[in-house]
Amino acid sequence: MSKVIAKTGMVWAAGAMSGTSLDGVDVAVLRTDGDVIEGFGRSDYRSYTNAERAVIAAGFGLWSGPQVEAAAQVTDAAHLEILDSFKDVELIGFHGQTLAHAPRMQGTLQVGNGAALADALGVPVVWDFRSADVEMGGEGAPLAPFFHHACARYIGAAEPVVFLNLGGVGNLTWVDPNVPEPQAAGALLAFDTGPANAPLNDLMQARLGQAYDKDGIVARGGTVETGALELFLAEPFFAKMPPKSLDRNDFAEMVALVEELADADAAATLTAMCAAGVAEAMQHCPSPPSRVLVTGGGRRNPVLMEMLRVSLDCPVVAIEEVGLDGDMLEAQAFAYLAVRVARGMPTSCAGTTGVRAAVGGGTVSAPGST
């Protein structure tokens, strides 16, 4: 690993992220030594076409077969296209595309060939971040918390703070920035909160041919069906103590709960389910946070943000209010984690994924290593 980058010092690294909401590929650059963040570089975004989105979606929930292979090909091609302009970086963190996640059963599957990308780009690539954590008894998710700890220090947070990522699935990281090492006891608690944008996006696509509920306009015109919301919150997942993680399709029955509702009422109810899952999750925090910093596409939905502010007992703000980029935070996380992996540093611990011991996941592929 030491041949890939220098053993010490600051590194310019790019991270590439494609989430389960299937918006597209985010790439973002930061400068770090794997501990502190020195600064941020440029970022870029490549949206998926409807055809690409359909190919990847056809692989959701599958572990092998032609649909998985097709999804992998689309994933690799899209990443190669956008990463081709990032050859000035020293290292790339490539998350790949999650198709299936069942850590206590089959494991976790992120398609994408990091070794092939390294060869094509001429830049070392770190990939397959989650498998080692799962093999050691962890959930394999969420993996951004170590980066969130660095972000809390970067913004000068003096009290515990929560990073709330609302992508396809929601996840929460409670950070105590006064504990200097992310793997130390009491520094972090992280877990999935429940479904976030994925069910709502699926509903919008199926009923209205729209990728998502832009500005929450559809949900704002509807009424929440409290009976469906109560059934949702009765799911055993919410009573389970963290760590815990979800697959994109674990709550597929959510859509069934609202299938008889009008479009606006269904959208309002699915939005309320996301907010209610977060409210339940906040009860697991070791201490009340000073504020909740929201990242991911959900922060752009004013109806969802209003629901969160009503249900939580602390300020809820978009992460831009502290000078961070909510569109690129996950991509930045995998740039940061890539440096940690390349230097043999842990990327998850008991407080983030429930893994038995702090572990550094990921495969490092240098150009020409295949």
Q: Is the pLDDT of residue 309 over 80?
A: yes
What total number of domains does the chain contain?
Answer: 2
d(CA 334, CA 6): 18
Residues in the chain: 370
Domain of residue 37, CATH code: 3.30.420.40
Higher per-residue pLDDT: 224 or 252? 224
Tell me the average pLDDT across 98-110.
89
Task: List the beta strands (DSSP E) in 296-365.
Answer: 316-318, 363-365
Residue 1 lies in a domain: no
Q: Are 129 and 171 in a shared domain?
A: no
- Tell me, what's the pLDDT at 370? 66
Do 176 and 315 belong together in one domain? yes
DSSP 190: E
Distance between CA 330 and CA 147 in Å, rounded?
9
Does one domain contain both 183 and 122?
Answer: no
* Predicted confidence band of residue 57 (pLDDT cuts 50, 70, 90): very high
What are 65's two structure tokens?
Answer: 């077969």
- The two most distant CA atoms of the chain are separated, in Å, by 59
- For residue 131, pLDDT over 70 is answered with yes
**Quick one: CA torsion of 226, 244, 351, 314, rounded to 10 degrees?**
-10
In-domain check, residue 2: no
Answering whether pTM is above 0.85, one says yes
Cα 163 to Cα 319: distance, rounded to the nearest angstrom:
8
Q: Give the range of the structural domain holding residue 136, as residue numbers without chain letter.
A: 11-141+338-365
Tally of CA atoms within 13 A in the half-sphere of 44 that contains its CB: 11
Mean pLDDT check: name the lowest of 52-56, 78-82, 198-202, 298-302: 198-202
Asked if residue 355 and residue 252 are part of one domain, the reply reads no
CB 58 within 8 A of CB 67: yes
- Mean pLDDT for 118-129 is 97
Q: How confident is the model at residue 315, as a pLDDT?
A: 98
The answer to whether position 327 is within a domain reads no
Q: Are residues 117 and 235 in the same domain?
A: no
pLDDT, tens only, 209-246: 998 999 999 999 999 999 999 999 999 999 999 988 88
Mean pLDDT to the nearest integer, 15-20:
92
Q: Kindly indicate the confidence band of residue 141, based on its pLDDT and cuts at 50, 70 and 90.
A: confident
Asked if 183 and 124 sit in the same domain, the reply is no
Residue 194 is assigned to a structural domain of this protein: yes
pLDDT band at 1 (very low <50, low <70, confident <90, very high): very low
Q: Do 188 and 142 contact (CB within 8 A), yes or no? A: no
Of all residues in the chain, what percent carry a pLDDT higher than 90?
A: 86
Looking up tokens 């956008």 gives 82
